[in-house]
Chain A
Amino acid sequence: MTAISHRRPRGKAAFGGLAPTALLLIGAIYCLFPVFWVLIAATKSPAELFSTGTLAFGTGFLDNVTQLFAYRDGVFWLWAANTLIYAGGGALLSTAVSAVSGYALAKYRFPGRNLIFNLLIGGILVPAVVLAIPQYLLFSKIGLADSYWAVLLPQILHPYSIYLARIYAAAAIPDSLLEAGRIDGATEWRLMSRVAMPLMVPGMVTIFLFQFVAIWNNFLLPFIMLGDDGKFPLTVGLFTLLQSGANQPSLYNLILTGAFLSLVPLIALFLTMQRYWRTDLSSGAVK
């Protein structure tokens, strides 16, 4: 399962690799360029934004940040904190539910197992829009629309994560260990919490990361659910900022700085957790 961190064998041909390397580097530049550009743009004062060269750093970064944080009494902070609550809380709950479900599906034989698994997995194919509108209406009926719960709760169940957890549990938890535990008189609950879950931690980190990013990036659900901009996550907040600023170039520097700042935490997480990005999803093999 350390597929990504494999050391590649050093080929002898140093020159034969020029064209492939060049192609990959073009791909890398294409992917990095917009991020690099927004970093530059975020350093420019409103005047510099239109007057200086598009790839020259400006002098206004601190001013932009101060202005952004002051914008409408610091609503940007609120958006950032909300995003952290939605993504962090949602991903934690989602990982817990997925791990326990995956464990049950992988390690027990019981009537209805396939039916339950197929039903849960079938959820992958249901388009988000079919869910978002009725979810909103149902939440409004019980008075929970425009609340944190409305964004948090629907994102806990994640069929794909259950699928991953099942594969991971099947590979990472030896049956013999569970049998030994049972002979020693451990309860099923104890076996799950003390034996199975610790073994599943590496798989759970992967699931957590994917869920965290998915919820952080989600736009449709909070956009539909929330009306009060104090509860917005960054994605919806940035969208409203863009909407109000589209025809006001004076707001451009705030929008660009906001976009840049919203990227920083995710990119940092992304780079530090590099080795945990595993997508053996397709091969179905978690080793």
Chain B
Amino acid sequence: MKRSAPYLFLTPAIVLFTLFLAVPIGYTVYLAMLRTKVSGLGLGKGSRREVFVGFDNFAAAIADAELWNGWLRVLGYGTLVLVVMLGLALLFALLLDSARVRLARFSRIAIFLPYAVPGVAATLLWGFLYLPSLSPIREILDIDFLGASTVTYSMANVAVWGGVGFNMLVLYTTLRAIPRDLYEAARLDGASEFQIAIRVKIPILVPAIILTTVFSIIATIQVFTEPTTLRPLTNTISSTWSPLMKVYRDAFVTGDLYSAAATSIVIAGISLVLSFGFLRVVRNRAFGEG
């Protein structure tokens, strides 16, 4: 066996990693430490130059009230999405796995189907369903889905709709991989289906639930597509509704790349802290490890 073979096989991945992951990350960190300095009237060549400002941009990003408001909105939205989406995914996975349910195949395919719908299209569908002039829902329920107090729930609904099926499938596939005789043993001991679900299945699912939760945390912190797509339909979503939207605005609308870079690193940092923090907490609770 040639010693170089595995390295050769890994070359494409390593090159891509370097070009599209390592270099951009390094470049973001570099940009985040710069600022444009304007001298004189800011006219003419050489009057604008990049100066190194160290951690000033990070300090500004952390102190930015607009960003914090965005964080708070996303925190509310994200908690709602996580709890409802993962709760439903768990419920559906357990129901699908129970021997007594009918039409399981149809339900499984139907619930997984929104996974095939792009976020833009999903938001568009629901957005029109929320519009008073078109909505069949509005004929039954008289709620303004796009009002200032309801729009977060409406957006969370889009995310739940799009994400529940995928998470359900992850949990369901994990359940199907469990040897059936484990349940037989529990049944022989007199356990009901419900008890088996609570006492046997859920504990086995814990690692899969943790994994889906971490991925969902990372995704909800970066929410961008849904609020951006819904914006044209309502005036209750600002251009800085979520932290990521603020990054986009800073970078491409107001043209302040340095702030955008610093803010995006702060977002990355917070999502890492939240993911690892969550992992730590659940590990302590679930496995009793320090």
Q: Give residues of chain B (102-128) contacting chain A, Cβ–Cβ below 8 Å.
A: 102-104, 106-122, 124-128
Interchain CA distance A216-B121 in the complex, whole Å: 11
Contact of A137 with B by CB under 8 A: yes
Contact of A283 with B by CB under 8 A: yes
Contacts known (A105-B10, A188-B1); A138 close to B27, Cβ less than 8 A: yes
Q: Give residues of chain A (245-287) contacting chain B, Cβ–Cβ below 8 Å.
A: 246, 249, 252, 255-256, 259, 262-263, 266-267, 269-271, 274, 277-283, 285, 287
Please, which residues of chain A bring their CB within 8 A of the CB of B3? 110
Contacts known (A54-B136, A113-B6, A182-B1); A153 close to B92, Cβ less than 8 A: no
Q: Tell me how many residues of A have a C-beta within 8 Å of chain B.
A: 102
Contact of B275 with A by CB under 8 A: yes
Identify which of A2-10, A60-68, A69-77 touches chain B: A2-10
Contact of A34 with B by CB under 8 A: yes
Please, which residues of chain A bring their CB within 8 A of the CB of B110? 27-29, 31-32
Interchain CB contact under 8 A, A35 and B247: no
**Which secondary structure characterizes the binding site on chain A?**
helix
Q: Give residues of chain A (199-219) contacting chain B, Cβ–Cβ below 8 Å.
A: 213, 216-217, 219
Task: Pick from A157, A259, A266: contact of B17, CB below 8 A.
Answer: A157
Task: Pick from B7, B12, B13, B211: contact of A282, CB below 8 A.
Answer: B211
Task: Pick from B19, B125, B224: contact of A37, CB below 8 A.
Answer: B125
Interchain CB contact under 8 A, B13 and A38: no
Identify which of B34-42, B58-66, B67-75, B228-236 touches chain A: B228-236
Contacts known (A11-B99, A157-B21, A246-B233); A278 close to B91, Cβ less than 8 A: no
Q: How far is the CB of A284 from chain B (nearest CB, A)?
A: 9
Interchain CB contact under 8 A, A129 and B113: no
Task: Pick from A30, A50, A262: contact of B118, CB below 8 A.
Answer: A262
Interchain CA distance A101-B6 in the complex, whole Å: 8
Interchain CA distance A165-B219 in the complex, whole Å: 23
Interchain CB contact under 8 A, B92 and A27: yes
Interchain CB contact under 8 A, B113 and A32: yes
Interchain CA distance A49-B112 in the complex, whole Å: 29
Interface centre among B14, B106, B116, B244 (most CB of A within 10 A): B116
Interchain CA distance A263-B116 in the complex, whole Å: 8
Q: Tell me how many residues of B have a C-beta within 8 Å of chain A.
A: 103
Please, which residues of chain A bring their CB within 8 A of the CB of B268? 126-127, 129-130
Contacts known (A28-B107, A154-B20, A249-B133); A34 close to B264, Cβ less than 8 A: no
Please, which residues of chain B bring their CB within 8 A of the CB of A6? 176
Contact of B24 with A by CB under 8 A: yes
Task: Give B residues with C-beta under 8 Å from A.
Answer: 1-3, 5-7, 9-10, 12-14, 16-17, 19-21, 23-25, 27-28, 31, 88, 91-92, 95-96, 98-104, 106-122, 124-129, 133-136, 139, 161, 164-166, 169-174, 176-177, 180, 207-208, 211-212, 218, 221-222, 224-225, 228-229, 232-233, 244, 247-248, 251-252, 257, 260-261, 264-265, 267-268, 271-272, 275
Closest 7 CB pairs of A and B: A246-B232, A282-B208, A28-B110, A104-B9, A188-B5, A54-B136, A108-B6
* New A-B contacts (10) at CB < 8 Å, excluding given A113-B6, A252-B128, A267-B116: A28-B106, A108-B5, A127-B264, A129-B267, A133-B251, A157-B13, A270-B115, A279-B166, A281-B211, A282-B170
